[in-house]
């Protein structure tokens, strides 16, 4: 399949230098980079891990931090 990708000139020039140093074309370099990225993403999803990203969870502030005892709470009720 053929597609057109617009690269900034400076990125294309750097890509051409890297490709030439490897004895490859820019097209081959791009194909290799995309294949690595796709493979990495597939492996992450298969293994069940996702790339690190910051998650902001809701926080409920307590007037008495550390005093909440959930040892006898039935969490299965939440899932039912």
What's the confidence (pLDDT) of residue 79?
A: 79
- Tell me which of 70 and 80 has the higher pLDDT: 70
What's the confidence (pLDDT) of residue 48?
A: 56
- The tokens of 50 are what? 């996702």
What's the confidence (pLDDT) of residue 47?
A: 60
Report pLDDT digits (tens) over 4-33: 999 999 999 999 999 999 999 999 999 999
Report pLDDT digits (tens) over 44-67: 776 655 666 777 888 788 888 888
* Nearest residue to 1 (alpha-carbon basis) of 41, 31, 38, 23: 31
């Amino acid at each position: 399949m053929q597609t057109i990708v617009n690269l900034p000139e400076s990125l294309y020039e750097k890509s051409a230098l890297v490709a030439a140093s490897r004895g490859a074309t820019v097209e081959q370099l791009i194909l290799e980079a995309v294949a690595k990225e796709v493979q990495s993403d597939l492996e992450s999803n298969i293994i069940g891990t996702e790339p690190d990203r910051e998650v902001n969870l809701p926080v409920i502030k307590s007037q008495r931090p550390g005093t909440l005892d959930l040892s006898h709470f039935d969490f299965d009720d939440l899932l039912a």
